[in-house]
Amino acid sequence: MHNLCKQILSIINQPIIISNEKVMLEASIGISFYPDNGDTVDELLHHADTLMYQQKEIHHQQLDS
């Protein structure tokens, strides 16, 4: 699953050209698995959301260093 996330992010991180301007996109991904990370949709979404925000924080810390 880690490789799949890396592949998705590498595609999203490719620059795109809009009106002759290079635009860079970024994304953070959080994934959860049933039943390991929760038994309900709400639990699974909460877990995935928590992981996504953790990744965002790590990314921002790396930018600040």
Q: What is the pLDDT of residue 11?
A: 93
Q: What is the pLDDT of residue 14?
A: 94
Q: Give the structural domain span for 40.
A: 2-64
Question: Residue 54 belongs to a domain with what CATH number?
Answer: 3.30.70.270
3-state SS of 1-65 is CHHHHHHHHHHHCCCEEECCEEECCCCCCCCCCCCCCCCCHHHHHHHHHHHHHHHHHHHHHHHHC
Encoded amino acid at 47, one letter: H
Q: What is the pTM of this model?
A: 0.70
pLDDT in tens, 5-64: 889 989 999 999 999 999 999 888 889 999 999 999 999 999 999 999 998 898 889 888
Backbone angles phi, psi at 61, to 5 degrees: -65, -40
Count up the domains in the chain and report the number: 1
Q: What is the pLDDT of residue 59?
A: 84
